[in-house]
Amino acid sequence: MPGAFSGINMIMQALMAQQEAMQVVGHNVANANTPGYRRQEAILTASHPRANFTFMGSILPGQFGTGVLVDRIKRYDTEFIDQRYCFELGENKRWATEADFLNQVEMALADTGSESLAKRLNDFWGGWQSLSTSPDDLTIRQDTLERSKAVADSFNRRASALNKLRGEQDLTIRERVDEINELATQLARLNVEITHVESTNHQPNDLLDERDKILNRLSEISGAKAAFQQFGQVVVSIGGHTLVIGSRAFEVTATPDPANGNLVGVGWQDGEPFSPVAGELKGLMESRDGVVVDQLNRLNTMAISFMDRINAIHITGYDLNNVPGQALYTGTDALSMRINTTLTAENLAAASVTNAPGDGTIAKLINDVQRETLVGLNNMTLGDYNNLRIGDLGLTVKRSTSQAADHKTVMDALDQQRDSVSGVNLDEEATKMLAYQKSYQAATRMMTALDEMLDRVINNMGVVGR
């Protein structure tokens, strides 16, 4: 039969097990508000029992329990939900980043304010309409020249603003690429550490929390996908190309691309193209090289069609000095468009014949261009083409905002579901703490009782009459 000292050992195990369980509760409480923390629990199990022997060596029925042990520290993991959450996180960041950037584009274009391109074009038409009725009025001529210059300035400012926005994104893209490389290095190191801990039959719970936070951030940036392997290792890929495998991390590069105005081009160090499927980089690259380029191209198309048609009419007329008209505008696109610097108010060609200061035929023809359908604008008027450009941008912004909100709703629902499983509930932790505390107190009472029993045996057994 078991001796008294085996009882002491059993109670000592109980004290240590309850103390360790209390430490886990304390760890949970301390990290209740730590982002990415997954609650843990000490899993208690009965230690291996012992057969009941008699003094004669025979075995009596039944076994004696030997107490309690902490089997493991369980981490409440939600791997399946985590993978769905990372997908929604990447999609949300992609569309939210695109929406934020395109809102800046809308502000830069200012197509709905008093400085809109449509307003400047309307002022231009109005100026030439006035000139057609009073072609010999120098005040009207000067006003018309200023309005013509304002159209060029409006095209210039918008093209310049769009180019500036594209350039500003390069810094953000470089920062994200550097962050990917840094996170990949950290993840490769964690793969080694987690494997080492698991090989010793321990649970690397806090290391796994750190790993999951890195995976979340990689999903935010690039829509990275993770595949979990034996011993806690994870393989991460972006757009089908491996980023991390085991202890090795593959580098992503950001270098100037001459084919894209020396803006940053992102690729893999081995020369393969970098194609994020989601995340901030996807939103930035799509906006910079997609929507913004489309807006620039449309502005250039408008500017070229406008200049070609106006110049074609203007050179057929005559100014106040009976000199044939010159090109009203110079330049090859919206950015380089300028009013002809050699022109003065007197040089505006309003007449269709010489020696006719009151003739405003050419000015009237220029005013009528606003109602012409131009081949370069897909047989649309300048106003209709401009409205289509503005409307398409607005629809793109609305789509991005809507997509970001939709994925945010799903992401929040998954986060709540995940938190219900792996989040720290302080009420639950308080209940566990009381249970472990009571068990600890009971174990100490038992230790006191065993101490008294042993004291009786050692100090008082055989003493009579005292």
Q: What is the DSSP string of 368-392?
A: HGGGPPBGGGTSB-HHHHHHHHHHH
Same domain (yes/no): 57, 174: no
Same domain (yes/no): 245, 281: yes
**Confidence at residue 5, expressed as pLDDT on a 0 to 100 scale:** 65
Q: DSSP string of 333-373? A: STTT-EE-TT--GGG---BSSSS-TT--HHHHHHHHGGGPP
Measured between alpha carbons, how far is 237 from 398 in angstroms, rounded to an integer? 31
Asked if 443 contacts 11 with a C-beta cutoff of 8 angstroms, the reply is: yes
Residue 417: inside a domain:
no
Which DSSP state fits 271? S
pTM above 0.75, yes or no: yes
Same domain (yes/no): 36, 103: no
Same domain (yes/no): 364, 266: yes
User: What's the number of domains the chain is made of?
Assistant: 2
Q: How confident is the model at residue 62 (pLDDT cuts 50, 70, 90)?
A: low
Same domain (yes/no): 297, 433: no
Measured between alpha carbons, how far is 82 from 85 in angstroms, rounded to an integer? 5
List 255's β-bridge partners, or say none.
Answer: 265
Share of the chain above pLDDT 70, in %: 95
Residue 395: inside a domain:
yes
Residue 142: inside a domain:
yes
Same domain (yes/no): 189, 292: yes
Asked if 329 contacts 342 with a C-beta cutoff of 8 angstroms, the reply is: no
Same domain (yes/no): 66, 90: no
Same domain (yes/no): 305, 434: no
Residue 465: inside a domain:
no
**Confidence at residue 1, expressed as pLDDT on a 0 to 100 scale:** 47
The two structure tokens encoding residue 156: 């210039």
Residue 233: inside a domain:
yes
Same domain (yes/no): 96, 70: no
pLDDT in tens, 188-208: 999 999 999 988 888 899 999
Residue 118: inside a domain:
yes
Same domain (yes/no): 155, 279: yes
Q: Under the phi-then-psi rule, with left for phi > 0, alpha for psi from -120 to 50, and beta for the rest, what region is 409? A: alpha
Q: How confident is the model at residue 261 (pLDDT cuts 50, 70, 90)?
A: confident
Q: Which domain holds residue 14?
A: 4-76+423-460
Dihedral angle sign, alpha carbons of residues 259, 330, 143, 358: negative
Dihedral angle sign, alpha carbons of residues 112, 117, 122, 123: positive
Measured between alpha carbons, how far is 155 from 116 in angstroms, rounded to an integer? 10
pLDDT at residue 18 is higher than 50: yes
Q: What mean pLDDT comes out for the span 406-431?
A: 93
Helices (H), 73-225: 79-109, 117-133, 138-199, 205-222
Residue 418: inside a domain:
no
Residue 215: inside a domain:
yes
Burial of 380 (0-12, 13-18, 19+ CB in 10 A): middle
Same domain (yes/no): 392, 446: no
Which of 376, 391, 412 is the last residue before a domain boundary?
412
Measured between alpha carbons, how far is 179 from 254 in angstroms, rounded to an integer? 12
The two structure tokens encoding residue 436: 């472990």
Same domain (yes/no): 167, 233: yes
Q: What mean pLDDT comes out for the span 370-396?
A: 94
Measured between alpha carbons, how far is 129 from 357 in angstroms, rounded to an integer? 16
